[in-house]
Copies of this chain bind each other. A is one copy, B any other.
Amino acid sequence: MSDLLHTLRQIVGPAEVHTEGDLSAWEQDWRRRARGKALAVVRPATTQQVAAVVRACAAAGTPIVPQGGNTGLSLGATPDASGREIVLSLTRLNTVRAVDPANLTLTAEAGCLLHAVQDAAAQAGLLFPLSLASEGSCTIGGNLATNAGGTQVLRYGNARELCLGLEVVTAQGEVWSGLRGLRKDNTGYDLRDLFIGSEGTLGIITAATLKLFPRPAAQLTAWAAVPSLAHAVTLLALAHQHLDAGLTAFEAMGRFALQLVQQHLPQLRVPFVEHPDAPWCVLLENSDSESADHARARFEALMESALAQGCISDAVVAENLTQAQQLWQIREGIPLAQAKEGLNIKHDIAVPISRIADFVAHTDALLTRELPGVRLVTFGHLGDGNLHYNVQAPQGCDAQAFLQAHEAHVNALVYDAVAQFGGSFSAEHGVGALKVRQLQQYQSPVALGLMRTLKRALDPQNVLNPGRVLV
């Protein structure tokens, strides 16, 4: 091993191979659920250095855990406890290499913060629409490696849809230079999408060419009380029809989730939370290429039509940016309010939008029957069919003990129901080391066989992030 560390120091410089001191920034995951022990944390500064590190580790048979901002939620970038794995941190590759406004593209290195990419686009008068809670800490390389989602997928797609080209270091330590800024390119197999979402197990993304968009002239936010989740789905269809591509967010929140916000974050005023006919609320955002007045007129036409069809009980449109931000703070405050209420079991699931109301009714009933008193914190990106379907221990009960006793059972009930409704057990958070067992259980044998074939073909030595995604 000291030979390998010597070689790594030669490649990246002795100051960038960390083996001592507090390595928790790299060894501990974001949600503090796992703490590993790395052989070393290696911080290359260039793509060529990344390639050389991979070649050195491959030669030594040492596994590599690629890491971006270390904000993942599925333990895909946390080293295991063996002390045998290298953490390869990409954060020093943090240059925005080019912005091309006429081509509506931007090329950034993997370690650029998502926020820095958004800023570089904004400085060119354009929009990079990927947006997540962790955008100040996560990196674009990690976003692509995990195919991140977020709040604007409805209009602009996941990280995958926002990427035109990649630069990747392969498991053999070669560099694939695929940074093409082309909207159309049918010259062989789609290598790009194979690496995107593979969580560093097939190759290491070192740079990407990304799509940019015109910035909207105005953004307006509204909040609607709806009589049921099924009505929220009807409202979604109406919103698509009225606003088309202007509809950039459609978030649904169950009453209990909102009550938690009201209780634990009392500085936020939650509209309609005690409205008798509002078991659900919806936050909508309309991004308009014309003007604020036009955005408001379109919203009003939508709300009128929704009221006439009985799919909303009441609604407010934010009068200004501050009000809009307050509405978003309610939506984004749910995870915090939930944490303040106590430990809980989180699920990041997707089902077809047409079945989502039935799924929630079915699964709510199942959980309430099996675990009386259990409280369901349901909210999320309804426009994408993606819910955070979280389970809070019964009131007054010891949450830690409840989780210990019931977490596996709750997960099985929820994920079985998801499968039954044609859904996904991991909509936007990925598999990592956390959901490897679920992947084996819920993907078909044919799909698993294909995935294993791809892994063996591209990384026969199993050097890249072994044990993550597939075992």
Chain A residues engaging chain B, CB cutoff 8 angstroms: 100-105, 146-147, 149, 153-154, 157-158, 160-161, 170, 174-178, 180-191, 193-194, 196-198, 202, 213-214, 216, 233, 236-237, 240-246, 289-290, 298, 350-355, 381, 384-386, 422-431, 435, 438-439, 442-444, 446-451, 453-458, 469-470
- Minimum CB–CB distance from A421 to chain B (whole Å) comes to 11
A233 contact set on B, CB distance < 8 A: 102
The 4 closest A-B pairs by CB, nearest first: A245-B245, A457-B457, A244-B289, A193-B193
A431 contact set on B, CB distance < 8 A: 186-188
**Is the pair A182, B216 in contact by a Cβ cutoff of 8 Å?**
no
CA A362 – CA B178 in complex, angstroms? 24
**Is the pair A424, B186 in contact by a Cβ cutoff of 8 Å?**
yes
Among B182, B216, B443, the residue within 8 A (CB) of A424 is B182
A186 contact set on B, CB distance < 8 A: 146-147, 149, 197, 424, 426-431
CA A155 – CA B444 in complex, angstroms? 34
11 additional contacts (CB under 8 A) given A102-B236, A149-B186: A154-B183, A174-B449, A178-B447, A186-B427, A188-B451, A189-B454, A189-B455, A190-B197, A193-B193, A246-B289, A453-B458
A455 contact set on B, CB distance < 8 A: 189
A154 contact set on B, CB distance < 8 A: 183
**Is the pair B176, A189 in contact by a Cβ cutoff of 8 Å?**
no
A385 contact set on B, CB distance < 8 A: 103, 182-184
**Is the pair B197, A450 in contact by a Cβ cutoff of 8 Å?**
no
**Is the pair A352, B176 in contact by a Cβ cutoff of 8 Å?**
no
A237-B161 contact given A176-B447, A193-B194, A427-B186, CB 8 Å threshold: no
A298 contact set on B, CB distance < 8 A: 290
9 contacts between A and B (CB under 8 A): A100-B354, A147-B190, A154-B183, A158-B184, A176-B444, A183-B350, A187-B442, A189-B198, A214-B244
CA A189 – CA B452 in complex, angstroms? 10
**Is the pair B244, A170 in contact by a Cβ cutoff of 8 Å?**
no
CA A425 – CA B450 in complex, angstroms? 30
A451 contact set on B, CB distance < 8 A: 188-189, 191
CA A455 – CA B191 in complex, angstroms? 12
A242 contact set on B, CB distance < 8 A: 289
**Is the pair A185, B427 in contact by a Cβ cutoff of 8 Å?**
yes
**Is the pair B182, A351 in contact by a Cβ cutoff of 8 Å?**
yes
A439-B187 contact given A182-B350, A182-B423, A446-B175, CB 8 Å threshold: yes
**Is the pair A180, B422 in contact by a Cβ cutoff of 8 Å?**
yes
A177-B446 contact given A190-B194, A451-B191, CB 8 Å threshold: yes
- Minimum CB–CB distance from A68 to chain B (whole Å) comes to 16
A181 contact set on B, CB distance < 8 A: 352, 422
**Is the pair A189, B202 in contact by a Cβ cutoff of 8 Å?**
yes
CA A157 – CA B184 in complex, angstroms? 9
CA A222 – CA B443 in complex, angstroms? 49
A180 contact set on B, CB distance < 8 A: 422, 424
A456 contact set on B, CB distance < 8 A: 457
- Minimum CB–CB distance from A126 to chain B (whole Å) comes to 9
A427 contact set on B, CB distance < 8 A: 182, 184-186
CA A458 – CA B458 in complex, angstroms? 12
- Minimum CB–CB distance from A289 to chain B (whole Å) comes to 4
**Is the pair A102, B354 in contact by a Cβ cutoff of 8 Å?**
yes
- Minimum CB–CB distance from A239 to chain B (whole Å) comes to 10
Among B153, B174, B442, the residue within 8 A (CB) of A183 is B153
Among B189, B214, B443, the residue within 8 A (CB) of A240 is B214
A428-B187 contact given A194-B193, A444-B176, CB 8 Å threshold: no
